[in-house]
Amino acid sequence: MRFQRHYKMETGEINFIPLINIVLLITIYFILISSFISTPVVNIGVSRAGETKQYKNKIFLNVSSAGEIFSEGKKISLQELGSFLKEFKGNMLVIIKGQSNTPNGIMVRIINKIHKAGINNIAISSL
């Protein structure tokens, strides 16, 4: 004996109101959180065209991609750089010219040596 089943397939429906509420809450959350995120800023003092300073001495340090330091055609090691710079006194500017593929670690070591020699005026240029 075969029984007939009387049931009807109901189609599901999507209720959009809770979905809209959740999307709205997530959007508000990200807007509020993004206002608290701050990126670190390095203040760089850039002089204007009419405000150039005059320096008594300018030293150019050329840095190769291998980390070799040259000044006026003479090769200087990183250890000798401090004593080389201490010879110059007064209002002085050190201009570091590095190649585009010079490692950053070498440039940082050179800048540290310059600061240890008592020179605060440093300019970085590219070859």
| Tens-digit pLDDT string for the chain (127 aa) | 677 777 777 777 888 898 999 999 999 998 888 877 666 666 666 666 555 567 777 888 889 888 888 888 889 888 888 888 887 766 788 888 888 888 888 888 888 888 888 888 888 887 6
CB count within 10 Å of CB 96 equals 20
Q: Which run of H or E residues covers position 58?
A: strand 57-63
Domains, in order of start, for the chain: 57-126 (3.30.420.270)
Rounded Cα gap, residues 28 and 35, in angstroms: 11
Q: What is the pTM of this model?
A: 0.56
